Structure 1
Amino acid sequence: MTETHATTPPRGPVFPPGRYGRRREPRRRRPWLLALLLVPAFAVAATVSVRLYRQYGDPTYQAKVITYTQITDSQIVVDFRVTVPSGGAADCVLRARSRDGAEVGREQVRVTAAPGEKHPVVSHRLATTARPLIGEVVRCGPVR
Protein backbone atom coordinates (compact mmCIF):
# COMPACT_ATOMS: atom_id res chain seq x y z
CA MET A 1 0.00 0.00 0.00
CA THR A 2 1.33 3.42 -0.90
CA GLU A 3 1.04 6.44 1.30
CA THR A 4 -0.63 9.57 -0.02
CA HIS A 5 -0.63 12.96 1.56
CA ALA A 6 -3.82 14.91 1.80
CA THR A 7 -3.57 18.42 0.60
CA THR A 8 -5.99 21.16 1.49
CA PRO A 9 -7.60 22.78 -1.52
CA PRO A 10 -7.33 26.55 -1.80
CA ARG A 11 -10.31 28.56 -0.58
CA GLY A 12 -12.87 29.57 -3.14
CA PRO A 13 -13.01 28.52 -6.76
CA VAL A 14 -9.78 28.56 -8.70
CA PHE A 15 -10.10 29.50 -12.34
CA PRO A 16 -7.37 29.16 -14.93
CA PRO A 17 -5.89 32.56 -15.80
CA GLY A 18 -7.26 34.22 -18.91
CA ARG A 19 -10.54 32.32 -18.91
CA TYR A 20 -14.10 33.25 -17.89
CA GLY A 21 -13.59 36.99 -18.19
CA ARG A 22 -12.27 39.31 -15.58
CA ARG A 23 -13.08 38.70 -11.89
CA ARG A 24 -14.83 41.54 -10.10
CA GLU A 25 -14.05 42.72 -6.62
CA PRO A 26 -16.78 42.23 -3.99
CA ARG A 27 -19.21 45.14 -3.84
CA ARG A 28 -19.31 47.54 -0.96
CA ARG A 29 -22.35 47.06 1.29
CA ARG A 30 -24.82 49.82 2.00
CA PRO A 31 -26.44 49.21 5.41
CA TRP A 32 -28.32 52.51 5.26
CA LEU A 33 -30.26 51.21 2.23
CA LEU A 34 -31.49 48.23 4.22
CA ALA A 35 -32.54 50.49 7.10
CA LEU A 36 -34.30 52.80 4.64
CA LEU A 37 -36.42 49.88 3.44
CA LEU A 38 -37.06 48.25 6.83
CA VAL A 39 -38.20 51.32 8.79
CA PRO A 40 -41.38 51.90 6.72
CA ALA A 41 -42.11 48.16 6.74
CA PHE A 42 -41.96 48.07 10.54
CA ALA A 43 -44.16 51.17 10.77
CA VAL A 44 -46.83 49.57 8.58
CA ALA A 45 -46.66 46.30 10.54
CA ALA A 46 -47.01 48.15 13.85
CA THR A 47 -49.99 50.15 12.59
CA VAL A 48 -51.76 47.03 11.34
CA SER A 49 -51.01 45.17 14.58
CA VAL A 50 -52.44 47.94 16.75
CA ARG A 51 -55.55 48.20 14.59
CA LEU A 52 -56.18 44.44 14.68
CA TYR A 53 -55.57 44.34 18.44
CA ARG A 54 -58.12 47.07 19.02
CA GLN A 55 -60.64 45.42 16.72
CA TYR A 56 -60.34 41.80 17.89
CA GLY A 57 -58.25 41.55 21.02
CA ASP A 58 -58.79 44.55 23.28
CA PRO A 59 -59.15 43.15 26.81
CA THR A 60 -61.10 46.25 27.85
CA TYR A 61 -64.08 44.90 25.89
CA GLN A 62 -64.90 41.31 26.76
CA ALA A 63 -68.25 39.56 26.49
CA LYS A 64 -69.59 36.38 28.03
CA VAL A 65 -72.87 34.70 27.19
CA ILE A 66 -74.89 34.01 30.32
CA THR A 67 -77.75 32.15 28.65
CA TYR A 68 -79.85 31.93 25.52
CA THR A 69 -83.57 31.26 25.81
CA GLN A 70 -86.94 31.60 24.04
CA ILE A 71 -85.76 29.66 21.00
CA THR A 72 -88.33 29.55 18.20
CA ASP A 73 -88.17 29.21 14.43
CA SER A 74 -87.67 32.97 14.07
CA GLN A 75 -85.83 34.21 17.18
CA ILE A 76 -83.51 33.61 20.11
CA VAL A 77 -82.99 35.76 23.21
CA VAL A 78 -79.33 36.09 24.22
CA ASP A 79 -78.38 37.30 27.73
CA PHE A 80 -74.75 38.38 28.00
CA ARG A 81 -72.38 40.42 30.17
CA VAL A 82 -69.90 42.88 28.69
CA THR A 83 -66.79 44.34 30.31
CA VAL A 84 -66.41 47.97 29.24
CA PRO A 85 -64.50 50.98 30.58
CA SER A 86 -66.30 52.51 33.56
CA GLY A 87 -69.46 54.20 32.28
CA GLY A 88 -68.48 53.47 28.68
CA ALA A 89 -70.17 51.83 25.73
CA ALA A 90 -69.40 49.00 23.33
CA ASP A 91 -70.61 47.70 20.00
CA CYS A 92 -71.14 43.94 20.13
CA VAL A 93 -71.87 41.56 17.26
CA LEU A 94 -74.33 38.77 18.09
CA ARG A 95 -75.05 35.76 15.94
CA ALA A 96 -77.28 32.72 15.98
CA ARG A 97 -76.33 29.39 14.45
CA SER A 98 -78.46 26.43 13.45
CA ARG A 99 -77.83 22.77 14.24
CA ASP A 100 -75.66 22.34 11.13
CA GLY A 101 -73.52 25.37 12.07
CA ALA A 102 -74.97 27.74 9.50
CA GLU A 103 -75.43 31.35 10.56
CA VAL A 104 -79.16 32.11 10.74
CA GLY A 105 -79.02 35.52 12.41
CA ARG A 106 -76.55 38.35 13.00
CA GLU A 107 -76.93 41.80 14.50
CA GLN A 108 -74.78 44.57 15.94
CA VAL A 109 -75.91 45.78 19.37
CA ARG A 110 -74.78 48.89 21.24
CA VAL A 111 -74.25 48.29 24.97
CA THR A 112 -74.06 51.33 27.26
CA ALA A 113 -72.98 51.08 30.89
CA ALA A 114 -74.40 53.28 33.63
CA PRO A 115 -71.96 55.79 35.17
CA GLY A 116 -69.49 53.89 37.34
CA GLU A 117 -70.62 50.49 35.99
CA LYS A 118 -68.09 48.24 34.23
CA HIS A 119 -70.08 45.02 33.65
CA PRO A 120 -73.55 45.70 32.21
CA VAL A 121 -75.81 42.71 31.58
CA VAL A 122 -77.85 42.83 28.39
CA SER A 123 -80.78 40.76 27.12
CA HIS A 124 -81.29 41.01 23.35
CA ARG A 125 -83.87 39.37 21.08
CA LEU A 126 -82.15 38.28 17.86
CA ALA A 127 -84.31 37.63 14.79
CA THR A 128 -83.37 34.51 12.80
CA THR A 129 -84.17 33.07 9.38
CA ALA A 130 -84.40 29.46 10.67
CA ARG A 131 -84.53 27.66 14.01
CA PRO A 132 -81.32 28.45 15.94
CA LEU A 133 -79.47 26.07 18.21
CA ILE A 134 -77.12 28.56 19.87
CA GLY A 135 -76.71 32.31 20.40
CA GLU A 136 -73.21 33.79 20.56
CA VAL A 137 -71.39 37.06 21.05
CA VAL A 138 -68.83 37.17 18.22
CA ARG A 139 -66.95 40.24 19.46
CA CYS A 140 -67.27 43.50 21.33
CA GLY A 141 -65.26 46.65 20.76
CA PRO A 142 -65.25 50.40 21.20
CA VAL A 143 -68.12 52.42 19.74
CA ARG A 144 -67.23 53.71 16.26
Structure 2
Amino acid sequence: MSETHATIPPGAPVFPPGRYGRRREPGRRRPALAALLVAAAVAALGLASYSLYDKYGDPAYGAQLVSYSDITDSQVVVDFRVTVPAGGSATCALRARSHDGAEVAREEVTVTARPGESHVTARHRLTTSARPFVGEVVRCRPAG
Protein backbone atom coordinates (compact mmCIF):
# COMPACT_ATOMS: atom_id res chain seq x y z
CA MET A 1 0.00 0.00 0.00
CA SER A 2 1.45 3.35 -0.92
CA GLU A 3 1.14 6.43 1.18
CA THR A 4 -1.18 9.15 0.01
CA HIS A 5 -2.09 12.48 1.44
CA ALA A 6 -5.22 10.89 2.86
CA THR A 7 -3.36 8.15 4.79
CA ILE A 8 -0.62 10.16 6.48
CA PRO A 9 -1.13 12.58 9.35
CA PRO A 10 -0.41 16.26 8.76
CA GLY A 11 3.21 17.25 9.45
CA ALA A 12 4.62 13.73 8.97
CA PRO A 13 7.33 13.28 6.32
CA VAL A 14 6.29 11.71 3.01
CA PHE A 15 8.66 9.10 1.53
CA PRO A 16 8.36 7.76 -2.02
CA PRO A 17 7.26 4.11 -1.99
CA GLY A 18 10.10 1.56 -2.14
CA ARG A 19 12.85 4.17 -2.12
CA TYR A 20 14.22 3.83 1.41
CA GLY A 21 13.48 0.20 2.16
CA ARG A 22 11.21 -1.18 4.81
CA ARG A 23 10.36 1.10 7.71
CA ARG A 24 11.37 -0.34 11.03
CA GLU A 25 9.37 -0.33 14.18
CA PRO A 26 11.05 1.42 17.10
CA GLY A 27 13.64 -0.96 18.59
CA ARG A 28 13.21 -2.60 21.95
CA ARG A 29 15.53 -1.17 24.59
CA ARG A 30 17.76 -3.52 26.52
CA PRO A 31 18.38 -1.94 29.93
CA ALA A 32 19.62 -5.22 31.43
CA LEU A 33 22.48 -5.40 28.91
CA ALA A 34 23.50 -1.77 29.58
CA ALA A 35 23.38 -2.35 33.35
CA LEU A 36 25.48 -5.51 32.98
CA LEU A 37 28.11 -3.65 30.93
CA VAL A 38 28.27 -0.80 33.46
CA ALA A 39 28.60 -3.26 36.36
CA ALA A 40 31.41 -5.11 34.54
CA ALA A 41 33.26 -1.82 33.87
CA VAL A 42 32.92 -0.72 37.52
CA ALA A 43 34.16 -4.12 38.73
CA ALA A 44 37.16 -4.00 36.37
CA LEU A 45 38.08 -0.47 37.49
CA GLY A 46 37.70 -1.43 41.14
CA LEU A 47 39.93 -4.47 40.69
CA ALA A 48 42.57 -2.40 38.88
CA SER A 49 42.47 0.28 41.61
CA TYR A 50 42.82 -2.29 44.37
CA SER A 51 45.74 -4.07 42.72
CA LEU A 52 47.57 -0.79 41.99
CA TYR A 53 47.06 0.44 45.55
CA ASP A 54 48.21 -2.91 46.91
CA LYS A 55 51.30 -2.77 44.71
CA TYR A 56 52.25 0.93 44.98
CA GLY A 57 50.35 2.28 48.00
CA ASP A 58 52.12 2.16 51.33
CA PRO A 59 49.65 2.12 54.21
CA ALA A 60 52.35 0.85 56.62
CA TYR A 61 53.84 4.38 56.85
CA GLY A 62 51.57 6.93 58.45
CA ALA A 63 52.31 10.23 60.15
CA GLN A 64 50.36 12.19 62.70
CA LEU A 65 51.19 15.69 63.92
CA VAL A 66 51.20 15.76 67.72
CA SER A 67 52.02 19.45 68.21
CA TYR A 68 54.10 22.38 67.09
CA SER A 69 55.62 24.77 69.59
CA ASP A 70 58.47 27.17 70.38
CA ILE A 71 57.56 29.46 67.49
CA THR A 72 60.00 32.32 67.06
CA ASP A 73 60.98 34.47 64.09
CA SER A 74 63.42 31.78 62.91
CA GLN A 75 62.20 28.39 64.12
CA VAL A 76 59.38 26.02 65.03
CA VAL A 77 59.59 22.70 66.89
CA VAL A 78 57.43 19.92 65.45
CA ASP A 79 56.42 16.85 67.51
CA PHE A 80 55.04 13.99 65.42
CA ARG A 81 54.25 10.29 65.58
CA VAL A 82 55.03 7.85 62.77
CA THR A 83 53.70 4.33 62.19
CA VAL A 84 56.27 2.05 60.53
CA PRO A 85 56.66 -1.72 60.15
CA ALA A 86 58.04 -3.25 63.38
CA GLY A 87 61.63 -2.09 63.86
CA GLY A 88 61.58 -0.17 60.57
CA SER A 89 62.47 3.39 59.69
CA ALA A 90 60.83 6.16 57.69
CA THR A 91 61.82 9.42 56.07
CA CYS A 92 59.32 12.18 56.80
CA ALA A 93 59.00 15.53 55.08
CA LEU A 94 58.35 18.37 57.52
CA ARG A 95 57.51 21.93 56.64
CA ALA A 96 56.63 25.24 58.22
CA ARG A 97 54.34 27.82 56.69
CA SER A 98 53.90 31.49 57.41
CA HIS A 99 50.56 33.15 58.17
CA ASP A 100 49.97 33.88 54.47
CA GLY A 101 50.56 30.21 53.56
CA ALA A 102 54.05 30.58 52.10
CA GLU A 103 56.45 27.75 52.87
CA VAL A 104 59.26 29.10 55.07
CA ALA A 105 61.06 25.80 55.85
CA ARG A 106 61.17 22.22 54.59
CA GLU A 107 63.31 19.33 55.77
CA GLU A 108 63.37 15.55 55.49
CA VAL A 109 63.93 13.70 58.74
CA THR A 110 64.65 9.98 59.13
CA VAL A 111 63.19 8.24 62.20
CA THR A 112 63.78 4.63 63.28
CA ALA A 113 61.61 2.48 65.54
CA ARG A 114 63.09 0.35 68.29
CA PRO A 115 63.20 -3.39 67.54
CA GLY A 116 59.72 -4.87 67.85
CA GLU A 117 57.95 -1.49 67.98
CA SER A 118 55.93 0.03 65.18
CA HIS A 119 55.41 3.59 66.46
CA VAL A 120 58.01 6.34 66.72
CA THR A 121 57.44 9.66 68.46
CA ALA A 122 59.92 12.28 67.31
CA ARG A 123 60.69 15.97 67.81
CA HIS A 124 62.48 18.11 65.26
CA ARG A 125 63.43 21.79 65.18
CA LEU A 126 62.87 23.48 61.81
CA THR A 127 64.95 26.57 61.06
CA THR A 128 62.78 28.98 59.09
CA SER A 129 63.43 31.89 56.75
CA ALA A 130 60.56 33.96 58.23
CA ARG A 131 58.20 33.76 61.21
CA PRO A 132 56.23 30.51 60.93
CA PHE A 133 52.56 30.19 61.71
CA VAL A 134 52.26 26.39 61.61
CA GLY A 135 54.47 23.30 61.50
CA GLU A 136 53.34 20.25 59.50
CA VAL A 137 54.24 16.69 58.62
CA VAL A 138 53.68 16.47 54.86
CA ARG A 139 54.26 12.73 54.36
CA CYS A 140 56.32 9.75 55.42
CA ARG A 141 57.77 7.02 53.21
CA PRO A 142 60.20 4.13 53.61
CA ALA A 143 63.72 5.29 54.46
CA GLY A 144 66.40 4.81 51.87
TM-score bracket, shorter-length normalisation: 0.5 to 0.7
What is the SS of the residue equivalent to 2:135?
strand
Structure-1 separation of matches of 2:60 and 2:134: 25
Matched, 1:100 2:100: yes
- For structure 1, which segment, 94-103 or 2-11, has the greater mean C-alpha deviation from structure 2 after superposition? 2-11
Which whole-Å deviations, capped at 9, do the CAs of 1:83-124 have from their partners, x for residues lacking one?
000000000000000000000000000010000111110000
2:89 paired residue number: 89
How high is the TM-score relative to the length of structure 2?
A: 0.65
Count of residue pairs the alignment pairs up:
106
Give the superposition deviation at 1:59.
1.1
Letter in structure 1 aligned against 2:6: T
Matched to 1:74, the amino acid is S
Two-structure CA RMSD over aligned residues (Å) = 2.7
Q: How does 1:124-135 map to 2 (within 5 A)?
A: 124-135=124-135
Structure 2 match to 1:3: 7
**Structure 1 unaligned blocks of 5 or more:** 12-44
Residue 120 of structure 2 aligns to which amino acid in structure 1?
P
In the TM superposition, structure 1's runs of 4+ consecutive aligned residues that sit over 4 Å from their partners are 4-8
Percent identity, please: 57
- 1:53 deviates by 3.7
